[in-house]
Amino acid sequence: MILIIFLPILLCISVGEIKIKMNNLYGENKEITEEYDKSLSVECNNGIFVGKLKENVISFKGIPYAKPPIDELRWKNPVPAEDSNKVYQAFFYGKAPIQKEFPFSQGSYYPQGEDCLYLNIWVNKNDKSENKPIIVFIHGGSYKGFSTSEPLFEGQNLVEKFPDLIFITIEYRLGILGFIDFESVEGGDNYKTSNNLGLLDIICGLKWIQKNIKKFGGDPETITLMGESSGATLISLLPLIEESKGLFKRIIAESGSLNLSYSKSESKLLTEKLLEKSGAKNIEELIDLSGEEIKELQKELNDYCNFAIREENILPLDLYEVYKSGKGNDIDMLLGSNENEYNYWIKSFGSSFSSNKILSKLSGELLFRVGIPILFESYYYKNMNDEDKKLVDKFLNSLNVKNIWKYSEFLTEIIFRLPVTKQAEYHSEAGGKTYVYLWKYAAEQKKLGAFHTLEMPYTLDNVGKYEFGTLENPEFEDTVQEMWVNFARTGNPSISKLNWEPFDTDKRKIMVIDEKFELIEDYKTEQRKLLEPLLKYNFNSNRNEISYNVPFVYKNAFAAISILLILIFTFGKLIK
């Protein structure tokens, strides 16, 4: 009872602090009609943009790469920004995509709007070389959250450390504006690409980069896409889209692969809910909704949002098969996963309640202990045939850990590690240069291990800006970043003190990233072989199918009812 009373207070304090911090970062870039510092400006096709200098790095924030996707352009393909010779500030991030606010995502508290198609560039002023390698980072967030304004995604530190590097982040549409199927809606025939507008936004951003990046000193032939979670999936999907051909040379995909996508049938629920909640009967009535109404609908429908959709128009139905056929084999790939990916949700559940470390840990583990078995039984186990259920039972029984950690290990394997491995297999077999890593470095997170997202503060050189806490380790950070940047430069992550051999289906060599870096062969062979048949289900962490009509609830009725009451009280009354 005491926990229930104090959680709302702590949550409100935490949220208030984040809102103040993010609002202080916001501003609107305006046209400059007076004198300006030409040494901080770059002339692009759609304007002259003036950046800000911090230490040795110039940042250009909030550059529009497309027209605002509002009014008649809502749910339409991005339209490239119009040519202009006017001078504009590039001081502030553009608006965050419309999304639900979450305490563990600072970027979700940045001012939001439909007009969100902007990109941000960091360049080192002291490096005068031409044809610099470029990393374009695509953020994750389950296709419904986060934004480029997230402090963790800033390029300042990385470009300060590696002066020859240009770092770029691209914003794209999320949720009901970025990934929704209108096939069944009256008037939907004119919106056949609404399924994957977020992907088309990124392609539009990459075309802007191809057109303008030489003016910043960058090499349009040496562009590496880097993404995490759903961002890693998006950049893994781009090689399969003909329109993206020639826009980039390499990808670094962290903890995300082809399975983090939806089938057409899975995508229908969001459309039904949108029509139900909005009262709209056709596309015209949806277009007539105001921006504020769209914001409220996104908050209400957050839990039903789609991933990228396999629909034959933009994306093929069988993504693995297209990789197997050799599509995209001209792209160099660095792919990987973390040792304990699914333990992240203990952290994120807890952070949804409180910024207090003790209460966050208690509430997070309580929700995880109840929620994960329910998710496992109502979605994964329910959708398997009897033979595959036996494989899962054998896998779980082989693990020398308690039940909650068994489920986490299974989900880590089936949602993250196996799909990444299969993507690497097919790309390598088709002749593509492929490197694979396993991230085991856990810093101070000894109990939770190397969970989802934990690698980002190290690879992006933003250790102090990570929401869940990390330990500084300069030697480790330098080594990881040098490997990532060297891959962006050359297509090979090897460095002077570490030789990283490519992955192939014979030796299956992967780099284990821990306090000690080690190249090993065929990690967890038996686990992989045991669960590999489950890849055919395309399990993607779809929580829409969760049902409480499962054995775990019957056996633990009191605990389940208690946690449901906490959820209903806290989320229903407070966050709403």
Angle, vertex CA 30, rays to CA 27 and CA 35, nearest 5: 125
193 burial level (CB within 10 Å; 0-12, 13-18, 19+): middle
Q: 84-89 and 166-170 as β-strands: parallel, antiparallel, unpaired?
A: unpaired
Active site residues: 229
Bridge partners of 32, per DSSP, are none
CA distances from 351 to 13, 148, 486, 568 (A): 13, 21, 35, 17
Q: How many CB atoms lie within 10 A of CB 74?
A: 21
3-class state of residue 231 by DSSP: helix
Structure tokens at 395: 């896998």
The answer to whether residues 196 and 311 touch, using CB atoms and an 8 Å cutoff, is yes
d(Cα 9, Cα 18) in Å, to the nearest integer?
15
Question: 303: closest CA among 551, 562, 576, 115?
Answer: 576
* CA angle, 218 then 143 then 92, to 5°: 50
At residue 39, the 3 state secondary structure works out as helix
d(CA 486, CA 427): 21
**Which backbone phi and psi does 564 adopt, to 5 degrees?**
-65, -40
Using only C-alpha atoms, what is the Rg of the chain? Answer: 23
**Which H helix or E strand runs over 429?**
helix 418-429
Question: Among all chains, which residue has been given the structure tokens 């109990």?
Answer: 447
What are 406's two structure tokens? 């068994």
d(CA 93, CA 51): 11
Q: Residue 287's CB: how many other CB atoms inside 10 A?
A: 17
Q: Measured between alpha carbons, how far is 532 from 525 in angstroms, rounded to an integer?
A: 11
Label residue 96 left, alpha or beta by phi (over 0 means left) and psi (-120 to 50 means alpha). beta
Query: Taking the CB of residue 396, how many other CB atoms lie within 10 A of it?
Result: 15
| Token pair of 138 as six digits | 């695509």
- Please state whether 146 falls in left (phi above 0), alpha (psi between -120 and 50) or beta: left
Tokens for 182, please give them.
């209108």
